[in-house]
Structure 1
Amino acid sequence: LGATGGNENQYETLSIYLYNYGWNLGHLGPAAAVAWAMLALLLIIAAANWFIGRFVRKSAV
């Protein structure tokens, strides 16, 4: 598999795609936009996890 995502990039994750697109192909602008989208997705998932955890802790008391 290595760092390329396997044969014909079949196992390529979003972070590997971001690295290849930004650094190997030199498209840093679109790669930065993808990085911001990944950060936004991470923050949304973290907030959902926090709210669900709060709800579960309150209902268990």
Structure 2
Amino acid sequence: MRRRSVFGVIFGWALVMVGFVGAIPTLGVSGILALWGVFLMVPKHRCKDCGWKRRAV
């Protein structure tokens, strides 16, 4: 039977938590920028009569 060091388990758990907590804001920013980029790629259409702009979906 193998034993794990208590310090190793605590330090490993702390690294995992810091990694997840650190990834949450960057994933949020990345997702927002990705969605913004997708909407920027969608072509715009303009009504010749009234000048109203609309993105085609």
Normalising by structure 1, what TM-score?
0.46
Higher helix share: 1
Per chain length, whose mean CA-contact separation is higher, i.e. which structure has more relative contact order (CA < 8 Å, sep 6+)?
2
More strand by share: 2
The TM-score with structure 2 as length reference comes to: 0.49
Larger Rg over CA atoms: 2
